[in-house]
Structure 1
Amino acid sequence: MEPSLAHSVPPGEEGAGRVYKLVLLGSSDVGKSSVTLRYVKDEFRESIPTTGCAFFTQRVCLQNRTLQFEIWDTAGQERYHSVCHLYYRGANAALLVYDISRKETFLRAQLWLQELEKCFPHGELVIALIGNKSDLQEERQVSREDGQSFADTKQLFFMETSARTGAGVQEAFEAVACELLILEHQTEDRTRRRDTGVNIEGTCVPHLGRNCCNT
């Protein structure tokens, strides 16, 4: 499933499709709002302070399907931390955003991951680690290798982006869309296998052609 197969759908041109809730988490001033604005409107603003949470919607066409993203952009200030769980409750995907020029924001993204792991069973939530401000190469404090290594260890999708130039932003959201569809297919497959393979007493359905219920 290739990210390049996805594209944004202008309002009114396609049906809404299935709705997926995406939440952006990260420290203040890492560019969560700028990344979101670049993706939704292809615009850039230097500073977009968020109070509590900002909400955006975007539709994406992927492999002949239309998905609708509900994007929740949370405030990074510490005073909002205690209520952030209200925003990522029921989420389908989370983007953990850090600033490559500020190492402390990379460490903070790791703490956000720990919180998500407490709230969501493994494999239930698509999680992406996003190193933003990739245009600030001379100020870099977190190498691409460190970001990729941590993501690999935790089985996260990883990408570096620049909300200023737009580099990687569209691709990051498209990759998340692909991962959401993969997770959906896996969930449907498990449900189908359970419903067709085992009856309510836990005995095998004859058409499977094998005896898995030993007596």
Structure 2
Amino acid sequence: MGCASSIAARDSRQLGFPNSENDGGHDAKNLRVKLVLLGDSGVGKSCIVLRFVRGQFDPTSKVTVGASFLSQTIALQDSTTVKFEIWDTAGQERYAALAPLYYRGAAVAVVVYDITSPDSFSKAQYWVKELQKHGSPDIVMALVGNKADLNEKREVAVQDGIDYAEKNSMFFIETSAKTADNINELFEDFVDYATSRLPPDILAA
């Protein structure tokens, strides 16, 4: 189940992470991040995005069709401004072939699974391998265990997520789109993590 129906992208430029947001390209404090979300259907990708961008949670919303696009700008503690351009891909198998259209050119990716679903954790590992094979060579990835509010129904141990993330040099966090737990931290901390790992030529304004 998605938390946002498809939204037509008003700006379809394939942007990486980060670039200067101004036309002159001189202000390194204004960053633009193209971020793609991948994961099985129903893990809460759209819910995470909707909670981050609009502060909303709608458990009755429609499944994402193809992909949806949303953007959000945040200010970090060091006064850096980060504009996230977020591509939320559909998790259904019939849309899997479309995913490369959205993750190609992205320097950061968030792979989401549901902590109550081992199958979704396996699918997350599939997407990690796809990104490693076909994504940008320097892509920085986050592994996110969503639905942390359902801890009593947990079937994927926290340590399993940590171990897999460490093995694949990924940022790791568990979130709850329903309660908003760790949603802002996901994006803010991941920016710091990605910035420290991307090559200088990508970081240059």
Q: TM range, normalised to the smaller chain?
A: 0.7 to 0.9
Counterpart in the other structure of 1:17: 30
Q: Does 1:129 align with 2:143?
A: yes
Which residue, 130, 146, 162 being the options, matches 1:148? 162
Query: Counterpart of 2:92 in structure 1: which amino acid?
Result: Q
Runs of 4+ in 1 over 4 A off after TM superposition: 188-191
Match of 1:5 in 2: none
Q: Are residues 1:180 and 2:194 paired?
A: yes
Gaps of 5+ in 1: 1-15, 192-215
The superposition leaves residues 59-79 of structure 1 with CA deviations (integer Å, 9 ceiling, x where unpaired) of 122222211110000000000
Mapped contact 1:91–1:125 kept (Cα < 8 A): yes
- Which residues of 2 match residues 1-215 of structure 1 at below 5 A? 17-48=30-61, 49-62=63-76, 63-120=78-135, 124-184=138-198, 186-188=199-201
DSSP-derived class of the 1:166 partner: coil
In structure 2, stretches of 5+ residues that fail to align are 1-28
* Paired residues, number: 174
Pairwise CA distance, 1:135: 0.6
Aligned residue type for 2:79? N
Question: Offset at 1:155?
Answer: 1.2
> Residues 158 and 189 from structure 1, CA distance in 2 versus in 1: closer, same or farther, beyond 3 angstroms?
closer
Distance 1:113 1:27 in 2: 12
Cα offsets for 1:161-181 (capped at 9, x unmatched):
000000111101111111232
1:105-138 C-alpha deviation (Å, 9 max, x unpaired):
000000000000012355x111000000001112
TM-score, scaled to structure 2: 0.80
Greater Rg over alpha carbons, structure: 1
Question: Which secondary structure does the structure 2 equivalent of 1:76 belong to?
Answer: coil
